[in-house]
């Protein structure tokens, strides 16, 4: 029995006419007059041979008896013209977005399934990989103490696709915003979801370079475009799920958006990368703790015992973290900045201060504080907003 002949293998009935029209027009196919009201005719954006263009028909209404068959023939023609698989074209007709595939091939996954604990962990790790990549697109840092809300919001819009036989593949659809019609054929700026995936692909390329150079430097030195500490740690977890086997990462990138020349859409994550990823993670985490941070907020607590003039005073201030939540921070100050903090508290004004933000136990502290100043902002009005 030929499984490909089964009519229900693909969800063709879910393809809407507008989905297919958008897909074709976005890629430069031109709609042409056709003598039948039951079908729409499209001409390919470039000839398949000299002065010969590919023409396809799509249904004009869902009520046609052979609706799914016409859709199937059209997608087969499109996939042949684009040199891509039927499944890849169909997935992007149904969902405007990029597809990330993480393939695990072990003796246990040959039939297309995976032990439940490993499968759950794999999806959790891929989720975290996307989240921390998105975090870096929102705020470039070497490490993130927590996930940023906007990053988790983005990943919540992603969808899990089907796996397939022969190995277990985690298919993740990353939705993209549809570009406006007037900029379709101009210079399109990569949307947020695309940038998130490109960061992962560039990071995986850096991992391969680290293996070749036997050094974590390619990962560490390219954190601005590639992996941060959290992404390194997540990839270590994914390597372990592979049980000593290579893991394949591949992407089906929505072609309407330009793909940079330095991007490889297929790559492998080797077991030998674990040591370099761990070392890079430690280096990036260590370096982030030494970076100066400028905080703005308001003082809500001051403490210094009477007669302790010359000793450091302790203040606590509230600042807003990357998730938009209030973060209490403890700071030890010398006399002059401590007096400024008192004035700010007394006059209900915000302060701005620079130092090294780090977590000690369960408490956030700003060490090596400097440049404390009172701002003109009234924190009562800030709290009301």
Q: 323-330: which pairs have CB atoms within 8 A and are 24 or more residues apart?
A: 323/146, 323/147, 323/148, 323/149, 324/149, 327/364, 328/300, 328/364, 329/295, 329/297, 329/357, 329/364, 329/365, 329/366, 330/363, 330/364, 330/365, 330/366
Stated pTM of the model: 0.68
First to last CA, the chain: 66
pLDDT per residue as tens digits for the range 253-275: 887 888 888 899 889 999 999 99
Facing residues of 354 across strands?
294, 370
pLDDT for residue 79 is more than 80: yes
Lowest mean pLDDT of 82-96, 174-188, 316-330, name the range. 174-188
User: What percentage of the chain has pLDDT greater than the value 90?
Assistant: 39
Q: List, in sequence order, the alpha helices (H) in the chain.
A: 17-26, 67-82, 86-94, 116-138, 149-155, 192-213, 217-221, 229-241, 274-288, 335-346, 379-384
pLDDT tier for residue 309 given thresholds of 50, 70 and 90 = low
Lowest mean pLDDT of 103-112, 274-283, 348-357, 369-378, name the range. 103-112
Lowest mean pLDDT of 52-66, 213-227, 259-273, 321-335, name the range. 321-335
**For residue 128, what are the CA distances in angstroms to 154, 279, 294, 345?**
12, 19, 27, 40
Tokens coding 252: 């089906």
What is the distance between the alpha carbons of residues 147 and 135, in angstroms, rounded to a whole number? 7
pLDDT tier for residue 44 given thresholds of 50, 70 and 90 = very high
What is the structure's pLDDT at 187? 64
Q: Which domains does the chain have, with CATH numbers?
A: 3-89 (no CATH), 98-288 (no CATH), 292-384 (2.40.50)
Query: SS3 of 80, please?
Result: helix
Report which of residues 127 and 383 the model is more confident about.
127
Mean pLDDT of the chain: 85
pLDDT per residue as tens digits for the range 323-365: 677 889 999 998 889 989 999 898 888 999 998 888 777 788 8
User: Mean per-residue pLDDT for 54-66?
Assistant: 89
pLDDT for residue 133 is more than 50: yes
**For residue 52, what are the CA distances in angstroms to 49, 79, 121?**
5, 18, 51
């Amino acid at each position: 029995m030929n499984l490909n002949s089964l009519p229900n293998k693909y969800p063709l009935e879910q393809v809407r006419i507008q989905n297919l029209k958008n897909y074709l027009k976005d890629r430069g196919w031109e709609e042409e007059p056709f003598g039948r009201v039951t079908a729409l005719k499209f001409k390919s954006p470039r000839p398949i041979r000299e002065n010969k263009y590919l023409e396809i028909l799509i249904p004009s209404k869902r009520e046609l008896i052979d609706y799914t068959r016409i859709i199937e023939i059209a997608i087969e023609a499109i996939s042949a013209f684009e040199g891509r698989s039927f499944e890849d074209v169909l997935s992007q007709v149904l969902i405007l977005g990029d597809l990330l595939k993480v393939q695990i091939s072990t003796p246990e996954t040959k039939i297309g399934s995976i032990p439940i604990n490993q499968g759950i962990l794999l999806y959790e790790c891929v989720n975290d990989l996307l989240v921390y990549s998105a975090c870096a697109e929102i705020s470039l840092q070497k490490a993130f103490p927590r996930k940023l809300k906007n990053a988790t919001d983005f990943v919540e819009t992603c969808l899990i696709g089907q796996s397939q036989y022969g190995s277990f593949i985690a298919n993740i659809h990353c939705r993209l915003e549809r570009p406006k019609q007037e900029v379709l054929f101009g210079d399109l700026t990569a949307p947020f979801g695309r940038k998130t995936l490109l960061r992962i692909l560039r990071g995986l390329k850096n991992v391969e370079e680290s293996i070749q150079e036997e050094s974590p430097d390619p990962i560490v030195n390219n954190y601005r475009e590639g992996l941060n500490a959290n992404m390194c740690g997540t990839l270590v977890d994914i390597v372990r799920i592979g049980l000593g086997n290579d893991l394949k990462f591949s992407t089906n990138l929505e072609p309407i958006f330009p793909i940079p020349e330095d991007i490889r859409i297929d790559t492998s994550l080797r077991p030998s990368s674990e040591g370099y990823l761990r070392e890079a993670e430690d280096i990036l985490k260590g370096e982030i703790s030494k970076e100066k941070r400028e905080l703005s907020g308001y003082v809500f607590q001051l403490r210094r015992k009477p007669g302790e003039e010359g000793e450091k005073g302790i203040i606590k201030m509230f600042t807003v973290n990357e998730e938009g939540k209030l973060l209490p921070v403890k700071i030890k100050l010398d006399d002059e900045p401590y007096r400024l903090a008192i004035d700010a508290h007394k006059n209900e004004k915000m302060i701005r201060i620079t130092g090294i933000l780090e977590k000690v136990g369960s408490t956030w502290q700003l060490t090596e504080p400097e440049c404390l100043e009172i701002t003109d902002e009234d924190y009562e009005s800030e709290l009301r907003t």
